[in-house]
Amino acid sequence: MRSIWKGAISFGLVTIPVKLYSATEQKDVSFHQVHREDGGRIRYKRVCTVDGEEVPYADIAKGYELAGGEIVVLTDEDFEGLPLSTSRRIDVLQFTPAEQIDPIYFAKSYYLEPDAQGAKPYVLLRDALESSGQVAVVKVALRQRESLATLRVRDGVFVLETMYWPDEIRTPDFGFLDEDIEVRAQELKMAESLISTMASDFDASEYHDTYREALQQVIEAKVAGKEVVPAREEEEAGPAVDLMAALRASVEAAKREREGAPAKPKRAASGKAKADDKAQEEEKAPAKRKARKSA
């Protein structure tokens, strides 16, 4: 891994120099925009809408659009004067139980590695924080943006989790919240039974990105010049007419799946199968009549 930021954890009178690394990476199949006819890459030019000229990066500034459409141009000098006092510090503000912080606030995760001279205070704070069962609420500035964040311990390493500010969390303003929707006790009990049947310990290694794997197979088939057979789409279940029946069926299916015997839908007898069965019965009928006569 390559560090993307250097700074220090400021904890009282203790300063711990650290390096910051991205803790996650999104594995996706990346594409380029190309010309359908010859596969040529599509390029874009930075063109000014006023004079129509192409603009080099050195002449590009940030512009803030006002309500009336006017633009306020901000230069690098304007940003340098902003009060980012925590630009190279991770300031510890308080310690709090982790369960008091709603996960909706978390934005991105980073690992913190101590510099050589900061290893001992790093381990000291790490062990003390881990034994306390709490997380540190901190303030940090990354990429010209100040954020709240938390410090917690994972696998012996500090994890910095940047957070959204309270005014960045949207309020769920949905109509059904104001409706008086009645849930019967039997339905609630059946839903709880379904949850209980499907409950198990979480193991992230059990899950994988089936879409990305399938897309990679399509690409590999294209490279090999093979014929690609599209996967059959699963039929979407329609709306449940009887909620209790749907819940009951879900519970039974979940139980069978957990026992290792997935449910197999019964197939209706085809017209040919019914005709064969009828022919067999007619063949057996004369034999039975003969047996009765001889008796």
Please state the rounded mean pLDDT for residues 76-88. 74
Name the token pair of 148: 């709240």
Nearest 10 degrees: CA dihedral of 149, 150, 156, 157?
A: 10
CB burial of 252-281 (b: ≥16 within 10 Å; e: otherwise) equals eebeeeeeeeeeeeeeeeeeeeeeeeeeee
Please state the rounded mean pLDDT for residues 128-155. 92
Enter the pTM of the model: 0.69
pLDDT band at 103 (very low <50, low <70, confident <90, very high): very high
pLDDT at 236: 61
The answer to whether 8 and 18 have CB atoms below 8 angstroms apart is yes
Largest CA distance in the chain: 115
pLDDT at 272: 46
Name the token pair of 290: 């003969």
Alpha carbon 154 to its chain's center: 20
Q: Residue 11 above 60 pLDDT? A: yes
The answer to whether 148 and 139 have CB atoms below 8 angstroms apart is yes
Q: Residue 281 above 60 pLDDT? A: no
pLDDT band at 212 (very low <50, low <70, confident <90, very high): confident
pLDDT 10s digits, 42-62: 999 999 999 999 999 999 999
Please state the rounded mean pLDDT for residues 259-280. 50
Query: Which of the residue ranges 210-214, 227-231, 247-251 has the most confident prediction, judged by mean pLDDT?
Result: 210-214
Please state the rounded mean pLDDT for residues 182-203. 89
